[in-house]
Amino acid sequence: MLDMLCFTGISKIPYSPSAGARDVLCFKHYNASEVLHGRTMEDWLRFSVCYWHSFCGTGADPFGFPTLHRPWNEGGSDMDIAKKRLHAAFEFFTKLGVRYYTFHDRDMAPDGSTLEESNRNLDEMTDLALQLQKETGVKVLWVTCNLFAHPRYMNGASTNPDCHVLAYAAAQVKKGLDVAKKLGAENFVFWGGREGFHSIYNTDVAAELKHMANFFKMAVAYKEKIGLKCQFLIEPKPKEPCKHQYDYDAMSVIGFLKHYGLDQHFKLNIEPNHTTLAGHAYEHDIVMASVFGMLGSVDSNTGSPDLGWDTDQFPMDIRNTTIVMKTVIEQGGLQPGGLNFDAKVRRESTELEDLFIAHIGAMDAFARGLRNAVRIIEEGVMSGMLKERYLSFTEGIGQKVAEGRGTLEELEEFIKQNGEPKVTSGKQEKYESIFNHYL
Amino acid sequence: MLDMLCFTGISKIPYSPSAGARDVLCFKHYNASEVLHGRTMEDWLRFSVCYWHSFCGTGADPFGFPTLHRPWNEGGSDMDIAKKRLHAAFEFFTKLGVRYYTFHDRDMAPDGSTLEESNRNLDEMTDLALQLQKETGVKVLWVTCNLFAHPRYMNGASTNPDCHVLAYAAAQVKKGLDVAKKLGAENFVFWGGREGFHSIYNTDVAAELKHMANFFKMAVAYKEKIGLKCQFLIEPKPKEPCKHQYDYDAMSVIGFLKHYGLDQHFKLNIEPNHTTLAGHAYEHDIVMASVFGMLGSVDSNTGSPDLGWDTDQFPMDIRNTTIVMKTVIEQGGLQPGGLNFDAKVRRESTELEDLFIAHIGAMDAFARGLRNAVRIIEEGVMSGMLKERYLSFTEGIGQKVAEGRGTLEELEEFIKQNGEPKVTSGKQEKYESIFNHYL
Amino acid sequence: MLDMLCFTGISKIPYSPSAGARDVLCFKHYNASEVLHGRTMEDWLRFSVCYWHSFCGTGADPFGFPTLHRPWNEGGSDMDIAKKRLHAAFEFFTKLGVRYYTFHDRDMAPDGSTLEESNRNLDEMTDLALQLQKETGVKVLWVTCNLFAHPRYMNGASTNPDCHVLAYAAAQVKKGLDVAKKLGAENFVFWGGREGFHSIYNTDVAAELKHMANFFKMAVAYKEKIGLKCQFLIEPKPKEPCKHQYDYDAMSVIGFLKHYGLDQHFKLNIEPNHTTLAGHAYEHDIVMASVFGMLGSVDSNTGSPDLGWDTDQFPMDIRNTTIVMKTVIEQGGLQPGGLNFDAKVRRESTELEDLFIAHIGAMDAFARGLRNAVRIIEEGVMSGMLKERYLSFTEGIGQKVAEGRGTLEELEEFIKQNGEPKVTSGKQEKYESIFNHYL
Amino acid sequence: MLDMLCFTGISKIPYSPSAGARDVLCFKHYNASEVLHGRTMEDWLRFSVCYWHSFCGTGADPFGFPTLHRPWNEGGSDMDIAKKRLHAAFEFFTKLGVRYYTFHDRDMAPDGSTLEESNRNLDEMTDLALQLQKETGVKVLWVTCNLFAHPRYMNGASTNPDCHVLAYAAAQVKKGLDVAKKLGAENFVFWGGREGFHSIYNTDVAAELKHMANFFKMAVAYKEKIGLKCQFLIEPKPKEPCKHQYDYDAMSVIGFLKHYGLDQHFKLNIEPNHTTLAGHAYEHDIVMASVFGMLGSVDSNTGSPDLGWDTDQFPMDIRNTTIVMKTVIEQGGLQPGGLNFDAKVRRESTELEDLFIAHIGAMDAFARGLRNAVRIIEEGVMSGMLKERYLSFTEGIGQKVAEGRGTLEELEEFIKQNGEPKVTSGKQEKYESIFNHYL
């Protein structure tokens, strides 16, 4: 049975809409069961806690040693600690009130000295996870394999110049897919942190891309073989740790998938902090992936626009959460994906309660975003303006163009008949003001 | 017959390999007819002068008025000036010793008050251009239509919310294709400077992308109808003037083309200054486009890595030109594309001789790059190291993976048999040192 | 008497706090005479309209021709137009309800063919300006000289390698100071858009900095001579149009002023879009300038964090306006400075009403920021947490350090006595959540 | 006596100017005793190896575990390892042929559980260091205290909100200064990696800056008390690990030092990878610091312009090394500072010989830069062009301005007499071409 020993001073986080500024251990906006635009908030938001940042993270950074000393990380063997950690996590999920979590294979169970030992560790730990899932109702949003931390992967996993390393990654993914099936994961994520290069001089890009594509094809084949139903997701990131990662951004991944005939088998897991590192606006890859029918899930976090590395901060900006939720609602929701908090408390936020405060702040930020987005969509002012703006494509020559039936010749003829088009204001500031109205 | 009236103090630029530091009006490295690695330098480099920067540019910037007062831009009607300008340009091409030039429709001939008048202007000017081409042997590397400067295009051309504007752009492209055929252009470029958005709030991205794809399809159909043989090229740029342009970078365009089934009809024209604005290394998009078989041509220029806008400087960095030429040689050359100097003299470089100095400096930089690249390729030290590095994919399990015949199961079995892979140094600094050896 | 002919469909903008999403021609938050934290909103906010963007701007950008065709810019001589434009501006100020405007000498009156003619134009125009100021009560927040647009300044004004150009700039500033006195300007701004370099190769940085300092000293001397009381302000910008501008950011200017003994004579005019271009967070230079006692005024605008050039957008982000106003209140206000909208409607926002909508949106954004900041300050939750955080510096060894009376020896002794400090959570997410509470 | 046990296959690196591409374990350009422009190469370049990257670095990064397993880091107690490591380092220094090294207190000797124990460790280790220095002639370029890695410093050292932490840092610096004296260090560096903030919400910037200044004053006082003669250096860095560091760039530090009256006691240690992270060109802070008489030393490394974090790569770009050495020669050298390789082999460069290859490549890059810079300076073409460019400031009105004796009135009079200045080309491309001539 689930131990409740780590967060002893904290009970189930309540919804207290009228709480004051000092009250940071309650939801002021997120009301899980409240129905908005036809679904509960819980169903729209599908929050997930990520296991590595919140339960494995130590606070170490490239310039400093660990600062986060967690009770569950101390005492006993590696497996003992792994179990304590899992109990702590389920205590946290339960008290916070989220239905999903995500993990890497190597977060869940310690790496062994051989593949077989690592797999046995994983078997034992996932037995416990399955039991705790059943007890609490918490589910796996996605599983992923850590193919980047072990030194063997320093030159890449599926893109390693040595096929022996690729083989190791393949074995690890095979096990990861088995685990996904066992735990009923709704998605499976590939993040290619070492799939790229530091120097073009020592890299055969063409070969590496082909190997990566073939690696994915093997994963698809095995998934189908074992009857695993979950959605495959690729998570783009432009750089870091590599100088360049092949999965640079949404469009890069879409181009890659289509080139290798893989686009029917994958969707994207978009992380806005990665999007901004690629030089785009916060919401950009979420919007683009959605437009191409490829938005599968969101790693809801944020960076600082003035920083050039991944800070994985908790998303607190209401403007951003409003745009994200507007996009999500417009595509009919994220299911089977969700909003996974791929975010970590700052290494200076050393208290256990900071873990709660951070998640609550972010969940409230998304709840406000959802409420705003619903108002925007239901009032229809912005969508009405947009419809008006593109009206010319619904009839006549515009309709022919929209349907792919036009020719240059007839469009030239149209101009000869109708002359210069009139200038129409884009009215960006009006749209911005109206958007602000809903914040 | 070609007037030679503008650059009166300057004769045909000679090759003077032993010239001193002060001598900037001669080539010290570029020797057009010299054969390297089986071709003349002229054939490897296929230099082109761009008409707009060097003959239409005024030196105006967002904070300042024109500084460049060219003799060919003064006196007479718009058409008189257009002709003087064309003569000046051919004088320049001839004295500089380049075989190609590139232009926008609206550089070549002034915009009229109607489409018909614009087209008549273009007819008259291209008659002259054809004559000057025949006299001098200079050819058109590519033509492009200016679908961004006129106010009608402020909200996009093929992605304009008003189909009337798209129709105007279509009429203009139809004429542009006719001109390309008339002048024997070897390529035709699409640069979508206004195909994108400033605000996601007022934009229907899905509709705009579909319209852009349909626009390209109409252009392909007309090209085939008139029997135009040139290569179609799309030139990626991430932003500026828009906040976001759909043709963000090489992979974005490849993704777009594949999604809409257009990839057989287009290659890419890569401009490194655009590549760096997209957050990549200088050579990145050239390498990626080449790997995907999509590198058609290069707009050889440079930006400053510390600046966030397009400065279109002349490329002077030997390291960069060496990497570019190594990629070009490895794919067998750029033909029918070339190295187009999409670069402008600084607005402070007000003398006519600065135009020559800048082009000569860049041509010499590329000539040095070519010489270096040939040595790297012919000595084979780097390629030998690379071959060794990926050797595991040429036999056994590696060969199966490379050929797409592997499975996760047999790779797992391989690990169970062979255990942990050995760690192999990536030796980046060694590659860098060896590369430096050739600079 | 003031003509009211340009914005005929628009009356004085009212305060309508309950207006709906579609209503964009009213204030929903800005209530000029409402008293908050001891002052009227008008007194805290000191809004100013900038003349160049809103009345001289054409919508041209580096890739496109003018799009904004204003009734006041057409018909008659340059001076006729200048007068119509000034009438239009005062109509706008009055209807919008702002008390201040800002301008460059060359916005106000057309450049003549000689300095003398330019000065006469300026005399005539400022006579009219003075009259309109009296009629309407609108005042000059600041005057500045345009020392960057004319070709003579392409290589710098006070840092030009040719002292003849510096002399011209000096003459222009002399006249500008006279105009500032005549019109009762409360501040005078120096923006060194061309004071910097494009290439270190052709630049003597040491000489240029000394010349710039001496130029400022001459301006201070003349200001004192004529008894001009206004505050001198330097506006930092890191780059654009130059590759590097000497007034890079707040700290660069502070370092420069202190090195040359000028810091008593200048404060800073901070523009957040410039701050973000320098790689800082939006509020950074406002905070730093305030900490050093150097925050004189704010050019309230915004850029897009994903763009690398100055977009001068209207500030619409409530989070940003809240932080700015919190800083402003904490330093006791900006007077004699203000919040100048150095912002322009997008070139696609071609309707006259867009000018109003943009300003209203920004004023409401600042009004919301002010209201939030007042609540944050008056509730005192955040300031109380901060006081607690730094408590150790109010007594004992901490007090000695704070007062500059400590030594390494006694601090070492303190450690020998007291050992390792305890770890204290920085609680960043708690601060962020509480800040969000007030948005 | 110095053990020579770690780099067994490698002897003293020779100078072999005619070696081929494959030969990477010899100098092709660096010839220590060769005299150029009046000094030996060794004296101009003053190379230093940094202890932490090359002897303590493990290859761990935020996404991966250690990859670099060094023989000197294994076996025995912490102090045993520390001694083996120091022997290995001196073996490396000697074989490489550099005269200087740099270290942090905590690199040299392991942290103890108390300050006293840490200090005893340091005493024992510096005894050994002193002995090895005497045996080999290798000297300390600079010492620095690690005030950022220990968790106690997570919220800052001299800017920590808790004075207890500041006291610990003070005690550590006191010991560091004693060590600097004992070992004859020629400089002492302060790098404020945690002196800044992650969130403006929880930070009292004014208080922190004052505390930092007072901390520096205590260090100056103690330095003078113990008669330590070395140069104090501050090393700017804009961000990372903090979101913002107070020592952002050269000008920020100069502003800070001047504000607090500390500028006579400090110079700057400029690291180009930090400069580029601050948004400047590679050479910018070296040039600016030199212009302000504040360039004390250089941490010669490089980043990748497309990456937003500190990669500390070995500097291999000849263009950059040429500009740096030109600046260094023009200010008469760096002594008592030097060129410290604050650079690390990539974590994928796992062989011991990679350490040599990387340093040799960088030393050769600087040797080529030195040779180029000497030719540029001795031929005088560029300096002659520059002198000509600023000629107007050597006589007449220009001289008065240069000497600070001008007035706005007489400059205006000059314009009234002389009218419009003539336009003079900045000739940037000519300077670039000539610079290229020397590469």
The tens digit of pLDDT for each residue in A97-128 reads: 999 999 999 999 999 999 999 999 999 999 99
Task: Identify from B179, B283, B415, B418 which residue to disrupt to test chain A contact, counting A C-beta atoms within 10 A and taking the largest count.
Answer: B415
CB neighbourhood size of B402 (10 A): 20
pLDDT tens-digit readout, C155-194: 999 999 999 999 999 999 999 999 999 999 999 999 999 9
CB D46 within 8 A of CB D99: yes
**For residue A3, what pLDDT is reported?**
75
- Whether residue C315 is predicted with pLDDT greater than 80 in this model: the reply is yes
CB D406 within 8 A of CB C166: no
β-strand partners of B233: B189, B267
Residues 6 or more apart whose Cβ sits within 8 Å of residue A370: A36, A41, A44, A45, A321, A325, A329
| Sign (positive or negative) of CA dihedral B386, B391, B392, B397 | positive
Annotated domain spans of chain A? 35-379, 384-437
Chain C residues whose CB is inside 8 A of the D404 CB are 214, 217
Cβ of A426 under 8 Å from any chain B Cβ?
Answer: yes
Report the gap between the CA of A154 and the closest CA in chain D (Å).
6
Residues 6 or more apart whose Cβ sits within 8 Å of residue C374: C36, C37, C325, C329
How far is the C-alpha of B257 from the C-alpha of B265, rounded, in Å? 9
- Whether residue C3 is predicted with pLDDT greater than 80 in this model: the reply is no
The b-or-e profile of D255-285 (16+ CB within 10 A means b, else e) is bbbbbbebbebbbbbbbbbbbbbbbbbbbbb
Strands C139-144 vs C187-191: parallel, antiparallel or unpaired: parallel
C150, C311, C348 ranked by CB distance to B65: nearest: C150
Chain B residues whose CB is inside 8 A of the D439 CB are 318
**For residue D89, what pLDDT is reported?**
98
Closest CA to C59 of A423, B107, B66, B67: A423
Chain C residues whose CB is inside 8 A of the A425 CB are 348-351, 354
- Whether residue B42 is predicted with pLDDT greater than 90 in this model: the reply is yes
What amino acid is encoded at A249 in this protein? D
Mean pLDDT calculated for residue range D41-54 = 98
- Whether residue D103 is predicted with pLDDT greater than 90 in this model: the reply is yes
CB D372 within 8 A of CB D310: no
Annotated catalytic residue within C29, C53, C87, C104: C104
**For residue B402, what pLDDT is reported?**
98
Report the gap between the CA of D215 and the closest CA in chain B (Å).
34
D19 secondary structure, DSSP code: -
Chain A residues whose CB is inside 8 A of the C22 CB are 381, 434
Number of B–C residue contacts, CB under 8 Å: 93
Chains touching chain A through at least 3 C-beta pairs below 8 angstroms are B, C, D
ipTM above 0.95, yes or no: yes
Chain A residues whose CB is inside 8 A of the B239 CB are 279
Q: Which residue has the tokens 């996904």?
A: A180
β-strand partners of A101: A49, A140
> pLDDT > 90: what percent of chain B?
98
D25 secondary structure, DSSP code: S
Report the gap between the CA of D352 and the closest CA in chain A (Å).
16
Q: Which residue has the tokens 């109990």?
A: A87
Cβ of C114 under 8 Å from any chain D Cβ?
Answer: yes
Cβ of A252 under 8 Å from any chain B Cβ?
Answer: yes
Are A150 and D347 a contacting pair at CB < 8 A? no
Are A174 and B238 a contacting pair at CB < 8 A? no
Mean pLDDT calculated for residue range C394-405 = 97
Chains touching chain B through at least 3 C-beta pairs below 8 angstroms are A, C, D
Which chain A residue has the Cα nearest residue B164? A421
B270 sits in which H/E element: strand B266-270
- Whether residue C256 is predicted with pLDDT greater than 80 in this model: the reply is yes
How far is the C-alpha of B398 from the C-alpha of B403, rounded, in Å? 9
Q: What angle do the packed helices B352-379 and B318-330 form, to 10 degrees?
A: 60
- Whether residue A235 is predicted with pLDDT greater than 90 in this model: the reply is yes
How far is the C-alpha of A48 from the C-alpha of A44, rounded, in Å? 12
The b-or-e profile of A122-134 (16+ CB within 10 A means b, else e) is beebbebbeebbe
Closest CA to C55 of C70, C67, C45: C70
How far is the C-alpha of C149 from the C-alpha of B59, rounded, in Å? 11
Active site residues of D: 104
- Give the SS3 label for residue B53: helix
Number of A–B residue contacts, CB under 8 Å: 290
Are C199 and D428 a contacting pair at CB < 8 A? yes
Cβ of C194 under 8 Å from any chain A Cβ?
Answer: no
β-strand partners of D269: D297
Annotated catalytic residue within A29, A53, A87, A104: A104
Chain D residues whose CB is inside 8 A of the A198 CB are 346, 348
- Report residue C149 CA to chain centroid gap: 19
Two tokens at D342?
A: 């604050």
**For residue B74, what pLDDT is reported?**
87
CB B278 within 8 A of CB B238: yes
- Whether residue B18 is predicted with pLDDT greater than 90 in this model: the reply is yes
What amino acid is encoded at B325 in this protein? M
Mean pLDDT calculated for residue range D371-398 = 98
Closest CA to D90 of D4, D25, D9: D4
Two tokens at D217?
A: 């004053």
- Whether residue A180 is predicted with pLDDT greater than 80 in this model: the reply is yes
Annotated catalytic residue within B29, B53, B104, B284: B104
Two tokens at C163?
A: 């002292």
D200 secondary structure, DSSP code: G
- Whether residue D4 is predicted with pLDDT greater than 90 in this model: the reply is no
Cβ of B398 under 8 Å from any chain A Cβ?
Answer: yes
Cβ of D13 under 8 Å from any chain B Cβ?
Answer: no
How far is the C-alpha of A278 from the C-alpha of D208, rounded, in Å? 34
CB D365 within 8 A of CB D317: yes
pLDDT tens-digit readout, A20-57: 999 999 999 999 999 999 999 999 999 999 999 999 99
C-alpha pair distances (Å), C335 with each of C32, C93, C224, C229, C273: 16, 19, 20, 13, 21
Split at pLDDT 50, 70, 90, the class of A317 is very high
Are B198 and C66 a contacting pair at CB < 8 A? no
How far is the C-alpha of B424 from the C-alpha of D346, rounded, in Å? 13
How far is the C-alpha of C195 from the C-alpha of A327, rounded, in Å? 45
Are A433 and C361 a contacting pair at CB < 8 A? yes
Are B364 and D436 a contacting pair at CB < 8 A? yes
The secondary structure of chain B in percent helix, strand, coil, rounded to multiples of 5, reads: 50, 10, 40
Closest CA to D14 of D30, D3, D38: D30
CB proximity under 8 Å: C 260-289 to A: 276, 279-281, 284
Are A241 and D65 a contacting pair at CB < 8 A? no
CB neighbourhood size of D21 (10 A): 17
Split at pLDDT 50, 70, 90, the class of A74 is confident
C-alpha pair distances (Å), D402 with each of B265, C167, C209, D331, D399: 62, 12, 10, 21, 5
Q: What angle do the packed helices A284-291 and A318-330 form, to 10 degrees?
A: 0
How far is the C-alpha of B376 from the C-alpha of B368, rounded, in Å? 12
Are A149 and D346 a contacting pair at CB < 8 A? no
- Whether residue A5 is predicted with pLDDT greater than 90 in this model: the reply is no
Are A219 and B288 a contacting pair at CB < 8 A? no
Q: Which residue has the tokens 């909100």?
A: D161
Residues 6 or more apart whose Cβ sits within 8 Å of residue C9: C353
Which chain A residue has the Cα nearest residue D156? A348
CATH class assigned to B35-379: alpha beta
Task: Identify from A429, A431, A436, A439 which residue to disrupt to test chain C contact, counting C C-beta atoms within 10 A and taking the largest count.
Answer: A429
Closest CA to A292 of A319, A349, A253, A338: A253
- Whether residue C74 is predicted with pLDDT greater than 90 in this model: the reply is no
The number of CA neighbours under 13 Å toward the Cβ of A166 is 32
How far is the C-alpha of D90 from the C-alpha of D254, rounded, in Å? 35
Mean pLDDT calculated for residue range B82-94 = 97
- Whether residue C47 is predicted with pLDDT greater than 80 in this model: the reply is yes
What amino acid is encoded at A312 in this protein? D
How far is the C-alpha of C193 from the C-alpha of C271, rounded, in Å? 13
The b-or-e profile of C281-320 (16+ CB within 10 A means b, else e) is bbbbbbbbbbbbebbbbbbbbbbbbbbbbbbbbbbbbbbb
Any catalytic annotation for residue A87? no
Split at pLDDT 50, 70, 90, the class of A18 is very high
B391 secondary structure, DSSP code: G
**For residue C4, what pLDDT is reported?**
76
Strands D196-197 vs D244-245: parallel, antiparallel or unpaired: antiparallel
The b-or-e profile of B292-328 (16+ CB within 10 A means b, else e) is bebbbbbbbbbbbbbbbbbbbbbbbbbbbbbbbbbbb
Closest CA to D300 of D279, D280, D278, D322: D322
CB C333 within 8 A of CB C296: no
- Whether residue C209 is predicted with pLDDT greater than 80 in this model: the reply is yes
Report the gap between the CA of A10 and the closest CA in chain D (Å).
24
Average pLDDT over chain D, rounded to whole? Answer: 97
Cβ of B379 under 8 Å from any chain D Cβ?
Answer: yes
- Report residue A136 CA to chain centroid gap: 23
- Give the SS3 label for residue C50: strand
Mean pLDDT calculated for residue range D414-436 = 97
How far is the C-alpha of B262 from the C-alpha of B266, rounded, in Å? 7
